[in-house]
A and B are shown apart, each in its own frame.
Chain A
């Protein structure tokens, strides 16, 4: 069996561009003579508000990176540098955090997140086929890669509507092949995604919970994409 090898002979990708060992590690931006980056006002205010919530400002790393990702589209070197500057930490520290979490992107991605849950319960109900259909529909669109960030995600905590997807944070399911085109169209147009299939609307399954009949809940509005 042929084992794929990469440029440097390793079986592991990603080590083709070693760090520049001659260069000093990046310092905290704006400290000790290193240049201060420009930070958009809104972003700075958000990060500072997050830092004020905690006894230790570093606790704001996740919300701050998330806020920066909204502005920049992904955790780009500029985004990391801006957050590092406002928080007073090194970019390397934030990079270590950003590379750990699934929802922080380390490369440019499409504007709309489409997370398809492919964990046990959803895959028992056909999630793998659903993911293939979503991928095919996105691949078929000329601007698919720029518009959609389709990912197979681990359990999203909505096995009651399996197979399901989270579209810009809005949970929809159970999904069939017929729902895929409209799901993508709704996201693209900034409309509420598949309102009749949203988790937010559902009543609890337990027949003994509600003592009388209640109406379905309201659908979620469209959430902001990148």
Chain B
């Protein structure tokens, strides 16, 4: 891990083109000088030569779908904003809190000007005059880097009044959060940016119509906005040739958990998932097998080893019963009981539920309690069915999808690992019953009453 990653030129033959990560570790890339030397801000100049409608058309043609989790087509989202002279807002969602996701961190820290350029272009296309980057409070270094880069961009006239003499004016502010997963949900983020508790809002009205300060608001993920300069540079049509039909372009994937080379990788959408988990990230440690994997952060339903051949793109993963989400692959190998994974997942959502909607607030809490019952040996086989029904009652019944984000992976674990959970339950029950009579684990194993 510590050794610098040397790149072999020969390896690049026939591989996916690198758009976002191209020479990302070049010293000084976070400064305007180096970024401009590499052709930075030329896409902004190019975009400002076009009309906002033409820029929007390029984004639509590119087919790029939101990289934050929902996968909504960016061009379409921009077009939802009303036309005309009024205060319009653009918010970059940099509250990267989905467990397993750390791609935006790498972009903001190493190439902040790419994001700022993307925001400047998107604000021109959307007619937004007030822009914000909502960066999670934990990312102290990244927010500092962004602040420094923003000061340089302002000085050079890329951000501010009358950008490069085009007549387009916009302000940009880096806003730091203070630690709350729910603020990554778009309406929760807006409430938080307005200085309130980050409670999600009822939709509709959608943010494009009534968002920040009740004004029309475009919200996009860091990676989506950082891709915009590349789309303008190569043209939407060219970009759409990358990837597969319904999932165009390249995607940053964060691979973590039981893999030998965890980290961020830029892939062309549509390559087999196995190539990412085994080819790039090295697969699980020697002698272990993949037990399950989350394809898109902890909110996505888990898949099993045999699903590794599913192409890694939006529609293929949806077809396999999961989702691409934020592009965060978490690999769990066979050394970990599935109950531990379920418990960690459920406890996370219990902690992060804002408490506004009952199904989520209560459902996450009861799911944790029922999982603990299994581990304590107090559960009966019926509990799994009850737990599955609790998940069903959360999905679709809340203002936002935080509850669903727990219900989907937990539901998938109950469905796919029922045998293991039942065995775990039985072992725990035996241990509890027999230990109550004063026998130790070792004595019980010797009797053959308990698996070692």
Contacts and interface: CB of A to CB of B under 8 A. Distances in A.
Given A162-B256, A206-B21, A208-B12, A58 B99 contact: no
Nearest to B378: A1
Nearest to B197: A100
Contacts of B261: 205
A62 B176 contact: yes
A154 B15 CA distance: 35
Interface residues of B, number: 83
A223 interface: yes
A15 to B, nearest CB: 16
A212 B192 CA distance: 42
A190 interface: no
Question: How would you classify the secondary structure of chain B's contact residues: helix, strand, loop or mixed?
Answer: loop
B258 interface: yes
Contacts of B87: 55
Contacts of A206: 5, 18, 21, 263-266, 280
A45 interface: no
A83 to B, nearest CB: 11
B197 A60 contact: no
B351 to A, nearest CB: 6
Given A121-B100, A154-B348, A203-B5, A101 B130 contact: no
A34 interface: no
A146 interface: no
B27 A214 contact: yes
A158 B178 contact: no
Interface string A201-223: 00111111111111111001001
Contacts of A119: 99, 298, 344, 348
A82 interface: no
Contact of B298 (A53, A120, A158, A212): A120
Nearest to B99: A155
B256 A160 contact: yes
A132 to B, nearest CB: 16
Given A66-B137, A97-B195, A169-B140, A120 B100 contact: yes
B341 A56 contact: no
A164 B102 CA distance: 13
B105 A158 contact: yes
Given A101-B179, A103-B178, A215-B27, A155 B98 contact: yes
Interface in B84-107: 87, 96-102, 104-106
A154 B175 CA distance: 21
Contacts of B21: 204, 206, 208-209
Contact of A160 (B194, B195, B262, B351): B262
Contact of A209 (B22, B136, B175): B22
Contacts of A205: 5, 255, 261-265, 281
A214 B198 CA distance: 41
Contact of B330 (A66, A154, A159): A159
A125 to B, nearest CB: 8
A59 interface: yes
Contacts of B430: none
A200 interface: yes
A97 B180 CA distance: 11
Nearest to B351: A154
A61 interface: yes
B344 A123 contact: yes
A63 B132 CA distance: 14
A56 B23 contact: no
A208 B15 contact: yes
Sort chain A's interface into a size bin.
35 or more
Contact of B137 (A103, A118, A199, A212): A103
Contact of A62 (B18, B101, B177, B330): B177
Contacts of A211: 7, 9, 12, 22-23
B6 interface: yes
A24 B9 CA distance: 72
B25 interface: yes
Contacts of B341: 120
B175 A63 contact: yes
A196 B2 CA distance: 9
Interface string A157-172: 1111110001001110
A71 interface: no
Contacts of B130: 55
A216 B4 CA distance: 7
B53 interface: no
B332 interface: yes
Interface string A38-63: 00000000000000011110111111
Given A210-B5, A211-B7, 13 more contacts: A55-B130, A61-B195, A62-B176, A63-B175, A97-B195, A100-B198, A101-B137, A155-B97, A156-B138, A159-B99, A210-B25, A212-B23, A214-B25
Interface of A: 53-56, 58-63, 65-66, 96-97, 100-104, 115, 118-121, 123-125, 153-162, 166, 169-171, 174, 196, 199-200, 203-217, 220, 223
Interface of B: 1-2, 4-9, 11-12, 15-16, 18, 21-27, 87, 96-102, 104-106, 109-110, 130, 136-141, 173, 175-181, 192-198, 213, 254-258, 261-266, 280-281, 294, 298, 328, 330, 332, 336, 340-341, 344-345, 348, 351-352, 354
Closest 9 CB pairs of A and B: A205-B263, A159-B256, A102-B179, A169-B140, A61-B195, A101-B178, A58-B195, A209-B21, A103-B179
